[in-house]
Chain A
């Protein structure tokens, strides 16, 4: 079953005005159930825009977005996805537990159900003792784990992430990547993940979608098969480096063409 289907989607901002932007032009993408797909590309390639179209936070200028077999709008109303951003975006005035319960409150769950689910999510992200802390008492990495817990609280089939680890240092980042894979394996969630980092995209994904700007479009899709389970060792394997090279070439190819630098022998 296709979790996400994007057909002939274009998105134009400020149509007809002097500051018109062709954020996305004729983009097509299918994401299978349980797949982990990354979107990567330079600034302005439309990856965040594409994510927001799937989330129905934006409407496409033309084309269709289908999520979980429904229109994107209906999927949002049914809360069929969870979302995580670069800033964890936890509410300062709520405890960690209450932050996780936020989507459940909006869905009308009663107190007991919410509490039970919050406990479950805290266990899942391995922070059970921090339920009654406040977000500002936690480190950046811990806050992101809570943001992920919140995103998955209602057990949505789809997880949308916009550079969630961008603000973290490299060591925490690698640890979080491992955690994310573990959580997704446990829950079977489909993930669409936007990132700037090539190693991160390769480590996490089944497929890496390379995008380019002006106008925003998909230039290459790299299948990543790293053979077997992914763990700390994976980053040392040849298959890992080969996949990185493939993605880099995808990015460079379009980079040299459009910017005309010619510094390909770096």
Chain B
């Protein structure tokens, strides 16, 4: 167990080192680069290095500690944390919903070959198509849709988009896993005259777990992307997406602030991924260490 911990620590240290390197490159360019931007090989590709366009790295960090708005008691750190936490909850909701539907559809496709043949091609193609283009449409339902006494809250559209994006990789990965049981194992279960459902729970699902794990990882990051994009599309208050847009608008006067929100979004993604990895480690702890491609 210690070797796993050691490797994780090593990886994190390397990650921090890589970030430090990026910061060094940033500051170097800022010190040496043209103030108003410039051209490289005839293309206007070099960014501006003014205080407004490229704040110092340390300014970005110190901005966390100072108040969000002049005169306000709330620090930027509090604001960003609150925004990230809000978006995190929406991402989790989207992920769970997408996972339930995705796994359910995968089981349906595993059980009924004709469903699989009809639906799977679309699922596969959907991963090449920018579903994110649907974001504004799904989001536009929010607030306008009423079913009886239930009014569709805006935040639900945001979660739905997260679920929508998460659902596809989860469905495809789970189906692959369910189909991965060896022919001999299936024959074994047949020799026990086990029903399809029993075979599903005692053989196919456990076999599918190593395939579901990377699919869930993809689904988690897809959910975060969906939620952030949906927040930006709607302008839903409270989330990190909205904060990024707001702070970006204030960049003329307060250039470092938008970076704090970006760090918040990055933290959101990392925490979500970390949660899935943690579950992954727990679920796979008794399995042999082999890679599933």
A interface with B by C-beta (< 8 Å): 52, 55, 57, 76-77, 79, 81-83, 85-87, 89, 91-94, 102-103, 105-106, 134, 136
**Interface residue B193 (Cβ < 8 Å from any Cβ of A):** yes
A93 touching B287 by the CB < 8 A rule? Answer: yes
- Of the candidates B187, B193, B209, the one whose C-beta lies within 8 Å of that of A93 is B209
B192 touching A106 by the CB < 8 A rule? Answer: yes
Besides A57-B190, A77-B193, A93-B286, 18 more A-B contacts (Cβ < 8 Å) are A52-B187, A55-B191, A76-B190, A82-B191, A83-B187, A83-B188, A83-B191, A85-B187, A85-B188, A89-B188, A91-B185, A91-B206, A92-B206, A106-B192, A106-B193, A106-B194, A106-B202, A136-B288
- Of the candidates A76, A86, A92, A93, the one whose C-beta lies within 8 Å of that of B191 is A76
B interface with A by C-beta (< 8 Å): 182, 184-185, 187-188, 190-194, 198, 202-203, 206, 209, 286-288
B193 touching A76 by the CB < 8 A rule? Answer: yes
**Residues on the A chain within 8 Å of B202, using CB:** 102, 105-106
**With the chains together, A77 CA to B192 CA distance in Å?**
7
A79 touching B287 by the CB < 8 A rule? Answer: no
17 intermolecular pairs with C-beta atoms under 8 Å apart: A52-B187, A76-B190, A76-B193, A79-B192, A79-B193, A81-B191, A83-B191, A86-B184, A87-B182, A87-B184, A89-B185, A93-B206, A93-B286, A94-B206, A106-B194, A106-B198, A134-B288
**Residues on the A chain within 8 Å of B192, using CB:** 79, 102-103, 106
Dominant secondary structure at the B interface: helix
B185's closest neighbor in chain A, by CB? Answer: A89
**With the chains together, A52 CA to B187 CA distance in Å?**
9
CB within 8 Å for A92 and B193 given contacts A83-B188, A87-B184: no
**With the chains together, A91 CA to B184 CA distance in Å?**
11
**Residues on the A chain within 8 Å of B193, using CB:** 76-77, 79, 106
**With the chains together, A239 CA to B48 CA distance in Å?**
94
A68 to chain B, nearest CB (A): 14
A89 touching B184 by the CB < 8 A rule? Answer: yes
**Residues on the A chain within 8 Å of B288, using CB:** 92, 134, 136
A85 touching B184 by the CB < 8 A rule? Answer: yes
A203 to chain B, nearest CB (A): 25
Of A77, A103, A106, which is in contact with the most chain B CB atoms at under 10 Å from its CB? A106
**Residues on the B chain within 8 Å of A86, using CB:** 184
**With the chains together, A57 CA to B188 CA distance in Å?**
9
**With the chains together, A87 CA to B184 CA distance in Å?**
8
Of B182, B184, B188, which is in contact with the most chain A CB atoms at under 10 Å from its CB? B188
**Residues on the A chain within 8 Å of B286, using CB:** 93, 134
A146 to chain B, nearest CB (A): 13
B188 to chain A, nearest CB (A): 6
**With the chains together, A195 CA to B192 CA distance in Å?**
23
B262 to chain A, nearest CB (A): 41
A44 to chain B, nearest CB (A): 18
A116 to chain B, nearest CB (A): 20
**With the chains together, A256 CA to B190 CA distance in Å?**
38
Of B185, B190, B191, B193, which is in contact with the most chain A CB atoms at under 10 Å from its CB? B191
**With the chains together, A106 CA to B203 CA distance in Å?**
12
B187 to chain A, nearest CB (A): 6
B138 to chain A, nearest CB (A): 38
**Residues on the A chain within 8 Å of B206, using CB:** 91-94
B182 touching A89 by the CB < 8 A rule? Answer: yes
B291 to chain A, nearest CB (A): 14
**With the chains together, A82 CA to B194 CA distance in Å?**
14
**Residues on the A chain within 8 Å of B287, using CB:** 92-93, 134, 136
A197 to chain B, nearest CB (A): 20
**With the chains together, A72 CA to B286 CA distance in Å?**
37
CB within 8 Å for A57 and B187 given contacts A79-B192, A136-B288: yes
**Residues on the A chain within 8 Å of B188, using CB:** 83, 85, 89
Of B182, B193, B286, which is in contact with the most chain A CB atoms at under 10 Å from its CB? B193
4 nearest A-B pairs in the assembled complex, by CB-CB distance: A136-B288, A93-B206, A83-B191, A77-B193
**With the chains together, A86 CA to B182 CA distance in Å?**
13
**Residues on the A chain within 8 Å of B203, using CB:** 91
**With the chains together, A81 CA to B192 CA distance in Å?**
9
B287's closest neighbor in chain A, by CB? Answer: A92
**Residues on the B chain within 8 Å of A81, using CB:** 191
A91 to chain B, nearest CB (A): 7
B26 to chain A, nearest CB (A): 47
**With the chains together, A134 CA to B287 CA distance in Å?**
8
B139 to chain A, nearest CB (A): 41
